[in-house]
Structure 1
Amino acid sequence: MCSKSSGVLTAVIGLAVAGWGQTAGADTLRLLTWGGYAPDDVIEMFEAETGHTVEVTLSNNEEMIAKLRATAGGGFDLAQPSQDRIAGPQEEFGIYKPIDMSKIDQDKFIPSMLSATMANTTVGGEVYGVPHVWGTSGLVLDTANAGMVEDYTDLCSDEVAGKVSYRLKRPTLIGFAFAMGMDPFAAYGDEAAYTEIMEKVEAKLVECKPNVKTYWGGGDELMGLVRSGEVVASMAWDTGGWKLNADNPDISFVAPASGALGWIDTFVLPAKGQADDAAYDWINFVMQPEIAAKITDAAGNFTASKGADEFVDDALKARYQASFPPEAVDNIKWYPPVPAGLEAIEGGVLDRVKAAN
């Protein structure tokens, strides 16, 4: 996922750790997930309601894929990689098993997120992932001084000259492409078409360079720039914008007119999982709005549970609903898997923008 630490953390909750190659009982759910996605109180409620026992191993995308590759999909019953880490590893390593959608309570999901994730995780006609926790990058604005900024390309307007910041990373390339009326994701399968899009984005970013106060590298750096008033308009993550809003109501995360850029961490079934029933029970349990709100409170990000925002902390609920009316949620551009070769194209563009005078 985009905004979490990639440090490797490991914790076990419930019974003692079952090693990668050991067998756990059919009533034991071995969950491979991110920090905050399986809070203690949620586990206790699930165990009391279902009779299953939950063992949690905390990890990150790279570690999840490495663990499942090492065992050909064994050792765990449910895992939570990001949606762009599913189709490729499945095609190459066969580490997941298809999801039986008849066992998923689909009515509990935000429809646009469910359909997007199913489409991005379909391999050979089978669905391998459903959405859980998500987040976006978009615009963080001091609305008192940058209220005219509605999309990424507005960062190049004279009204905010010298008070703009964004990262020289691929989300900036993707966001500007969408704001310029192009669809970079639709060109993923055509290297020549993608190169043409990136050339146009490169020209725009070079043109926009005089507007940029600085290219930020870390979230704390950007938050300092915005708090001080040195930057009034930026590309940044939703959670950062909401933190700033808690200090200054004029600062807010805004979903761009062309769509925020979204990541989703999913639920997948490892190929050799032994407790599918417990896995389906967990998915359906945590997607209940009241339960999903507990995960939002623990993780800091919202889930794909429909209506869960009504049950989170009142202040966070107000910030979320102001940033994401339903039409903005449906307009999120979800990152699909990146084909080989595109990162090299993007890297060249970013290097040239950085070097431009």
Structure 2
Amino acid sequence: MKRTRSSFLATVTAASALLIALGGAQAEELRLLTWGGYAPDDVVAMFEEETGIDVQVTLSNNEEMIAKLRATDGGGFDLAQPSQDRIAGAQEEYGIYKPMDVSKINGDLFIASMLEGTKKNTAYDGEVYGVPHVWGTSGLVVDTKKAPEVKDYVDLCSDAVAGKVSYRLKRPTLIGFAFSMGMDPFAAYGDTAAYQTMMEKVGEKLIECKPNVKAYWTGGDALINLLRSGEVVAAMAWDTGGWKLNEENPDITFVAPASGALGWIDTFVLPAKTQNEEAAYKWINFVMQPEIAAKITASAGNFTASKGADAFAEEALKTRFQGSFPQEAIDNIKWYPPVPAGLEDIEGKILDRVQAS
């Protein structure tokens, strides 16, 4: 009886161990906090088939990503994709990320200058916190037939387009208008008082411009419909929105502003409490392969930092990009630097004042 009981216990123990092992394999997952289009279904399926890792995708934006990670002290996700200017400052203020082990990333897959620039811009306390993924610009989306005079952000305030413009009440609008008004907000990042004065001037301009605004857009689909219907003839928006509309109406397209389009890079970062760091690195190296990256470009509409991926991009997208960005416009792109802690509080108060005016 004693021997039988021992055998039974051994069998139960072995079975339990097997179930735990199987359960662990089945439970392995990558919790990804990202933007729409950055993890298309076909790419997720290919990754899952190749690695056996289940990918759980949560769509978000910069403000929500930081809010979610702040609420959990950097928990809840294994990999996130904030823009590069939202990393060093957020880490200094909230401690929501963890340093990356760049030796686990295949650097040969990246455009070298973009990789090195992003590593520099996401550095904090001697550690690298981010590597680049998707990049693009915001500027103007214009019906060039109905609003040919709109060449820069401040032109949205001209009488010629009264009641027919749109933009977001978000920080890119403040930054873009500042450049268009002859100021350099990025140069003032290190001087809070100077930045406050600059934003006050921009806020006054936006209040003055308010009668021109048909609507402050919050979602891309709503803006596209306003432009499609002709209710709005000029807007401040992302390049991809203009190119999407250009497919339907050749008169509407993305225009790089005379003062410079605003360039952004969305990154890969590790949340402070990631539970599957190895899966995160596997995802990064997988999606940065040129042919895979081209699938993300097709989904998101923006190019990636994957070296050689443009060779696999759709010809129509390359043509629209070249139409919006002659070389001088590319050279004039204003790339977002890291945002120092505290500046977004200044911007938020200005935006609230504009909204309430």
Tell whether the structures are fold-level matches, with TM greater than 0.5.
yes
* Match in the other structure for 1:167: 168
* Match in the other structure for 1:351: 353
Q: Does 1:233 align with 2:234?
A: yes
Identity %: 67
How far apart in 2 are the matches of 1:244 and 1:174? 25
Task: Quickly say closer, same or farther: Cα 1:93–1:167, change in 2 above 3 A.
Answer: closer
How far apart in 1 are the matches of 2:47 and 2:69? 25
- Alignment length (residue pairs): 329
Please say if residues 241 and 253 of structure 1, whose CA atoms lie closer than 8 Å, have aligned partners that are also in contact: yes
Moved more, 69-78 or 134-143: 69-78
For 1:302-339, what per-residue CA distance to the aligned partner results, in whole angstroms no more than 9, with x for missing partners? 32224434423333333233334566456143263363
Which TM-score applies when normalising by structure 1?
0.75
Q: Would you tell me which structure has more helix in proportion to its own residues?
A: 2
CA RMSD of aligned residues (A): 3.6
Please say if residues 262 and 335 of structure 1, whose CA atoms lie closer than 8 Å, have aligned partners that are also in contact: no
* Match in the other structure for 1:126: 127
How far apart in 2 are the matches of 1:153 and 1:329? 20
Moved more, 123-132 or 252-261: 252-261
* Match in the other structure for 1:54: 53
Q: Does 1:104 align with 2:135?
A: no
How far apart in 2 are the matches of 1:188 and 1:133? 24
Please say if residues 68 and 74 of structure 1, whose CA atoms lie closer than 8 Å, have aligned partners that are also in contact: yes
Shift of 1:283: 1.8
Shift of 1:146: 2.7
Moved more, 34-43 or 185-194: 34-43
How far apart in 2 are the matches of 1:278 and 1:221? 36
Instruction: Give 3-state SS (helix, strand or coil) of 1:131's partner.
Output: strand
Which TM-score applies when normalising by structure 2?
0.75
* Match in the other structure for 1:177: 178
* Match in the other structure for 1:265: 266
Unaligned runs of 5+ in 1: 1-22
How far apart in 2 are the matches of 1:144 and 1:312? 29
Aligned pairs for 1:335-346 (under 5 A) are 336-337=338-339, 339-340=341-342, 342-344=344-346, 346=348
Instruction: Give 3-state SS (helix, strand or coil) of 1:145's partner.
Output: coil
Shift of 1:128: 0.5
* Match in the other structure for 1:308: 309
For 1:47-76, what per-residue CA distance to the aligned partner results, in whole angstroms no more than 9, with x for missing partners? 666xx3322122236775577668765675
* Match in the other structure for 1:33: 33
How far apart in 1 are the matches of 2:73 and 2:158? 52
Instruction: Give 3-state SS (helix, strand or coil) of 1:57's partner.
Output: strand
Q: Does 1:141 align with 2:142?
A: yes
Q: Which amino acid aligns with 1:214?
A: K
Instruction: Give 3-state SS (helix, strand or coil) of 1:239's partner.
Output: helix
Unaligned runs of 5+ in 2: 1-22
Aligned pairs for 1:277-356 (under 5 A) are 278-325=279-326, 328-329=329-330, 331-334=333-336, 336-337=338-339, 339-340=341-342, 342-344=344-346, 346-348=348-350, 351-352=353-354, 355=357
Please say if residues 130 and 268 of structure 2, whose CA atoms lie closer than 8 Å, have aligned partners that are also in contact: yes
* Match in the other structure for 1:186: 187
